[in-house]
């Protein structure tokens, strides 16, 4: 009797699950498809069904989420017939199967032989959120923005305290390049995993609709990204640039913590959704996203324009980071130049600091290149 183990979660957690079951040797999805093609040829030659020849006995089959993108749609629709054809499989371990795959399996396998397991996500206590706030206050990952840090942590504290069974939705708004994305990354790091980042501004309208509502099982989708998340922190970057027709998708997500597209269904009940934007005020937020979405945002977190003193801290931080990989001679050259002083003397001209690190790096290496060029002449 075949046992099916469905797993919903990140690659990291699925790999841990495989190691937990000591599955060092297993048959991959590609190998299984190759076996199917071989069995199909043999079946064609003997002119009968697969009960007329000895089935291959396989102890374990492991199928990763990305494996599904390598097969045609008919394999997804007829998954059980294809996988079990000519094979006697003891265990099938599957990560994030499309809905049609799960449906196909459940129609062929007894219900008590199908188990479901979800990945585990860090669930901080209220004490841990207090630790996070203190950490954000002392490190220099995000310069300034003390009000935004506190407001964010208060919302995270509330979610941890109340153990609410719906997502927490934060809107980070304010000028570009002042630390909104960096704060989201810092929070995700604290929640012990890589940040899941969804960026609508990078997609044209048609691409965005396919990404959100699902296209073929092989194409990228928001549901796939949410299933594969390592933490419950989900950043939707530049939410203000989302196609207008997509905002209503978030009603059910923010209300019930469920998202379903053409191919997948995802539970995001405990997620913290961070929406970044360049809105100047809450009135602009409501006008653009509409009241149904606006009313579902738990906290609008305002980011302020950096002060002159804070911009100077950013410049010093970038110079320290850039010169940390240089040898002592080159560090001395940069320190003795007027490069940093030139930036600091023009602090008031830096309204957007997003590209400041690139400018400084380019100036540093231009200076080093010019030195080497002069020495070679």
Q: Which domain holds residue 53?
A: 3-118
Q: What is the CATH number of the domain that holds 205?
A: 3.40.50.300
Domain boundary among 302, 323, 343: 302
Q: Which of 1, 220, 8, 216 is nearest to 93 (CA)?
A: 8
For residue range 144-196, what is the model confidence (pLDDT) as tens digits?
Answer: 999 999 999 999 999 999 988 899 999 999 998 899 999 999 999 999 889 99
Residue by residue, DSSP assigns 7-56 as EES-HHHHHHHHHHTT-SS-EEHHHHHHHHHHHHHHHHHHTS-GGGSPPE
Asked if residue 25 has pLDDT above 90, the reply is: no
Residue 285 and residue 148 in one domain? yes
For residue range 319-354, what is the model confidence (pLDDT) as tens digits?
Answer: 999 999 999 999 999 999 989 999 998 888 876 777
- Rounded mean pLDDT of 55-66? 87
- Rounded mean pLDDT of 37-51? 58
Number of compact structural domains in the chain:
3
Confidence of residue 253 (pLDDT cuts 50, 70, 90): very high
Residue 46: per-residue pLDDT: 47
Residue 12 and residue 62 in one domain? yes
Q: Which of 51, 61, 62, 114 is nearest to 89 (CA)?
A: 61
Residue 56 and residue 162 in one domain? no
Domain boundary among 270, 302, 334: 302
Confidence of residue 209 (pLDDT cuts 50, 70, 90): confident
Q: How far apart are the first and last CA of the chain?
A: 78
Domain boundary among 118, 147, 165: 118
Residue 175 and residue 249 in one domain? yes
79-93, 219-233, 240-254: which has the minimum mean pLDDT? 79-93
């Amino acid at each position: 009797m075949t046992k099916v183990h469905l797993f919903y979660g990140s690659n990291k957690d699925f790999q841990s699950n495989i190691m937990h079951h000591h599955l060092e040797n297993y048959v991959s999805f590609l190998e299984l498809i190759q076996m199917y093609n071989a069995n199909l040829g043999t079946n064609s030659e003997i002119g009968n069904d697969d009960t007329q020849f000895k089935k291959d006995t396989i102890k374990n089959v492991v199928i990763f989420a990305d494996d599904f993108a390598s097969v045609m749609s008919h394999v997804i629709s007829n998954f059980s017939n294809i996988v079990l054809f000519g094979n006697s499989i003891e265990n099938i371990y599957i990560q994030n199967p499309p809905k049609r795959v799960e449906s196909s399996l459940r129609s062929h396998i007894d219900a008590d032989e199908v188990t479901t397991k979800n990945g585990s996500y860090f669930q901080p206590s209220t004490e841990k959120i207090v630790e996070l706030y203190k950490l954000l206050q002392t490190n220099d990952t995000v310069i300034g923005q003390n009000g935004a840090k506190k407001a964010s942590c208060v919302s995270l504290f509330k979610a941890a305290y109340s153990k609410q069974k719906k997502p927490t939705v934060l809107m980070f708004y304010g000028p570009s390049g002042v630390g909104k994305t960096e704060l989201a990354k810092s929070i995700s790091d604290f929640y012990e995993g890589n940040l899941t980042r969804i960026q609508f501004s990078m997609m044209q309208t048609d691409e965005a609709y396919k990404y959100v509502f699902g296209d073929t099982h092989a194409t990228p989708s928001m549901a796939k990204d949410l299933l594969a998340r390592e933490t419950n922190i989900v950043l939707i970057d530049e939410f203000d640039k989302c196609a207008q027709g997509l905002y209503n998708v978030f009603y059910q997500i923010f209300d019930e913590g469920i998202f379903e597209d053409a191919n997948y269904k995802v539970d995001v009940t405990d997620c913290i959704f961070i929406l970044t934007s360049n809105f100047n005020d809450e009135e602009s937020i409501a006008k653009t996203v509409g009241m149904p979405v606006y009313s579902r945002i738990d906290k609008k977190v305002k980011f302020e324009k950096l002060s002159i003193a804070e911009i100077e801290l950013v410049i010093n931080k970038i110079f320290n980071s850039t010169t940390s990989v240089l040898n002592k001679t080159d560090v001395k050259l940069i320190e003795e130049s007027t490069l940093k002083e030139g930036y600091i003397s023009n602090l008031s001209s830096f309204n957007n600091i997003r590209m400041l690190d690139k400018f400084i790096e380019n100036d540093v290496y231009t200076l080093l290149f010019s030195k080497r060029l002069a020495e070679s002449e």
